[in-house]
């Protein structure tokens, strides 16, 4: 059982600081990104093929920073054993964020491939376990400290790149976070992902 309630800690500080604290803690645990196949690379752009992924998901209201901070705290509590039986579940990077209508965000933690969801304690209210089907996605790397302005600019660049290649989006843009937003630099670029409507063929 976890000794520290990360959700309560994160809720007790400013939203941006909460998000940074969660990112730093996750990074220190040495998490690894899910396996994917890189089908094509063009500078900062990629096309990736992901397998089906099991995710822990929550929907949070507010700005991107606030939703991330609150969502991280809630999901991290569950992953680290707060309020459930069993061992801590290692974090798998990246952490995903997706904007919803009405000033809300869907925040997702990836569950390790070896985890059997049938053996997990049912999540608390506000958390669900979902499976994202296998898919191809267009990706752009986003180096530097995350900001709404930076993400908007890089999303426009990614959509222009997709349009030039005749790639039709199959869903909204998703943020993929690998680093603390409070650090002046990033060890690994964050990324934006847009699913592709059809299976990609080089």
Domain annotation covers residue 189: yes
Helix (H) or strand (E) holding 105: strand 104-110
Q: What is the distance between the alpha carbons of residues 165 and 41, in angstroms, rounded to a whole number?
A: 13
Domain annotation covers residue 97: yes
Q: What is the distance between the alpha carbons of residues 155 and 46, in angstroms, rounded to a whole number?
A: 13
Look at residue 146 in the predicted model and tell me its pLDDT. Answer: 84
Q: Are 130 and 57 in contact (CB under 8 A)?
A: yes
Q: Which residue stretches of the chain are H helix?
A: 6-11, 15-28, 64-79, 148-164
Greatest pairwise CA separation for the chain in angstroms: 51
- 62 pLDDT more than 90: yes
Q: For 105-143, write each residue's pLDDT tens digit.
A: 999 999 988 888 888 888 877 899 999 999 999 999 998
Check which CATH number belongs to the domain holding 153 and give it. Answer: 3.20.80.10
- The terminus-to-terminus CA distance of the chain in angstroms comes to 48
Domain annotation covers residue 201: no
Domain annotation covers residue 133: yes
Going by DSSP bridges, is the β-strand pair 45-50/104-110 parallel, antiparallel, or unpaired?
Answer: unpaired
Q: For 6-60, write each residue's pLDDT tens digit.
A: 444 444 444 444 554 554 455 445 456 667 899 999 999 999 999 999 999 999 9
Look at residue 11 in the predicted model and tell me its pLDDT. Answer: 44
Task: Specify the 3-state DSSP secondary structure of 162.
Answer: helix
Look at residue 46 in the predicted model and tell me its pLDDT. Answer: 97
Residue-number span of the structural domain to which 99 is assigned = 6-195
Angle between helices 15-28 and 64-79 (to 10 degrees): 40
Look at residue 187 in the predicted model and tell me its pLDDT. Answer: 66
Q: What is the distance between the alpha carbons of residues 35 and 121, in angstroms, rounded to a whole number?
A: 26
Domain annotation covers residue 14: yes
Look at residue 17 in the predicted model and tell me its pLDDT. Answer: 46
Domain annotation covers residue 58: yes
How many domains does the chain contain in total?
A: 1
Look at residue 28 in the predicted model and tell me its pLDDT. Answer: 45
Q: What is the distance between the alpha carbons of residues 14 and 20, in angstroms, rounded to a whole number?
A: 10
Domain annotation covers residue 61: yes
- 81 pLDDT more than 60: yes
Q: For 146-200, write each residue's pLDDT tens digit.
A: 899 999 999 999 999 999 999 999 999 999 998 654 445 556 789 999 999 987 7
Domain annotation covers residue 43: yes
């Amino acid at each position: 059982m976890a000794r520290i309630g990360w959700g309560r800690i994160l809720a007790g500080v400013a939203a941006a600081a909460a998000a940074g604290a969660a990112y730093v803690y996750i990074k220190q645990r040495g998490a690894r990104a899910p396996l994917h196949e890189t089908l094509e690379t063009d500078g900062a752009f990629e096309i990736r093929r992901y397998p089906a992924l099991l995710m822990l998901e929550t929907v949070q209201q507010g700005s991107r920073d606030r939703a991330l901070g609150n969502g991280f705290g809630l999901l991290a509590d569950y992953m680290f054993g707060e309020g459930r039986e069993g061992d801590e579940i290692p974090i798998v990077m990246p952490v995903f964020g997706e904007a919803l209508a009405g000033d809300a965000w869907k925040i997702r933690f990836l569950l390790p491939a070896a985890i059997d969801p049938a053996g997990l304690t049912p999540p608390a209210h506000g958390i669900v376990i979902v499976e994202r089907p296998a898919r191809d996605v267009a990706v752009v790397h986003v180096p530097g400290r995350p900001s709404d302005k930076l993400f908007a600019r890089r999303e426009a660049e990614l959509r222009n790149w997709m349009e030039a290649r005749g790639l039709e989006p199959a869903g909204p843009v998703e943020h993929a976070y690998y680093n603390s937003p409070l650090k002046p630099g990033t060890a690994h670029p964050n990324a934006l992902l847009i699913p592709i409507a059809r299976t990609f063929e080089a």
